[in-house]
Amino acid sequence: MLPRLVLKNKSMLGRWLFLLCFLGFYTCTPDEPITTKGDLEDIEYKPESYNYIRPDNYPQLEYSSSNLPTVAGVELGRKLFYDPILSKDSSQGCFSCHKQEFAFSNDVAFSTGIDGFLGKRSSMSLVDVGFHTRGLFWDGRAADLEEQAAFPVNDVLELHFNWPDIEKRLQRSNTYPTLFRKAFGIKAKKEITDLLARNAISQFERTIVSSGTSKYDRVIAGKEVFDNDEFDGYSMFFDLGEGNPLLPDAQCAHCHNEPLLSSTSYFNNGLQESYSLTGFKDLGRGGITHDSLDNGKMKVTTLRNWKYTAPFMHNGSLKTMDDVLAHYSSGGKYSPNRDPLIRQIQLSPTQLRKLKAFLNTLNDEAILHNPAYSNPN
């Protein structure tokens, strides 16, 4: 039995607490190892499959059989997505660069990491990200969402942390061990790993899907019709003008395919000027494949909800959609492997206005207000 003590000052209290820690009577450090076996087995594990919802005209959502979605897994991923526990100083998380009010992108050209340094590229929108099966990030360096979730944590320009320490934080949390048990059936806190955390985040991110209720979607479904300007813009976007000089091919649909209005491919869209294949400031896809013909190529982003994702392009250099249309109408900047479809289109002001009218039909505020995507913390 411990002796009864009258502690006259804080210094004396501190010395006794240290002694009690040393003797093992008092738990005073969060750094002790998690060693208990089966400490979560009394919590019910009854997984319920999660069915991803998608518009009727969307393709099937593909994901690995090693990460089958469950209701508990999606909810855990949503909590982790919004939790700054993933950053070294517990100030930022996935949500810092992918904000719901900006269609899960950001409103600046480059996001600022925890140390005050700017990132090297703009944050891509996560809308419909689960349908991209040929690499993620502007350069495609991550094969899938599970792999993608590892990068921001380790990046010194972003969360500047490491997964082993995150594992310890999650294992010692008052709430996460129970959530991991319900999501993945782990039996002990020490079984919480970075892989399970990334699996959960991926399960949540695959739920971030366009609602399919934009005017464009309603027209395609036969529930509404375009006005005259929107229809002309639609015709130019998809080259339906049939030789009509008033409705030329705007060369949009080659990269922005239906129904996602994006692509899983990589293109050099004339944004960077270079007179050699090695002269690009940002190598893009070529930096990953090490094929000089891929230098300067970037992943195609979605045009759905573009209104909320400015500034545009990998470097945020185009501030408005008018800037984007002017860039493409000019043919872009020269480089040896500039895509041949990026040429001087030279649309008139009237044609550009009609094209933008169609592009506006791709916007849908539902993604901004869906409570299933909001911060649960």
Tens of pLDDT, residues 70-128: 999 999 999 999 999 999 999 999 999 999 999 999 999 999 999 999 999 999 999 99
Q: Could you report the per-residue pLDDT of 275-292, keeping only the tens digit for each?
A: 999 999 999 999 999 999
Q: Computed over its alpha carbons, how large is the radius of gyration of the chain?
A: 25
Domain boundaries, the chain: 65-210+369-373, 215-367
For the chain, the farthest-separated pair of C-alpha atoms sits apart, in whole angstroms, at 97
pLDDT, one tens digit per residue, over 334-355 is: 999 999 988 777 899 999 999 9
**Fold agreement between 65-210+369-373 and 215-367:** yes
pLDDT of residue 6: 38
Quick: pLDDT tens for 188-246.
999 999 999 999 999 999 999 999 999 999 999 999 999 999 999 999 999 999 889 99
pLDDT of residue 37: 66
Give me the architecture of the 215-367 domain, per CATH: Orthogonal Bundle (1.10)
- Judged by DSSP in three states, 56 sits in coil
- Indicate whether 22 pLDDT > 50: no
Average pLDDT, the chain: 90
Non-local (6+) Cβ contacts of 14 within 8 A are none
Q: Specify the pairing of strand 298-299 against strand 266-267.
A: antiparallel
Would you say 232 and 353 are in contact if contact means Cβ atoms under 8 Å apart? no
pLDDT above 90 for 9: no
pLDDT class for 34, splitting at 50, 70, 90? low
pLDDT at 2: 38
Is the pLDDT confidence value at 5 over 50? no
Torsion of CA 297, 302, 307, 310, to 10 degrees: -30
The whole model's pTM is what?
A: 0.88
CATH architecture of the domain 65-210+369-373 equals Orthogonal Bundle (1.10)
**Peptide bond between residue 177 and the one before it cis (omega within 30 degrees of 0):** no
Would you place residue 25 in the very low, low, confident or very high pLDDT band (cuts 50, 70, 90)? very low
Instruction: List pLDDT tens digits, range 313-328.
Output: 999 999 999 999 999 9
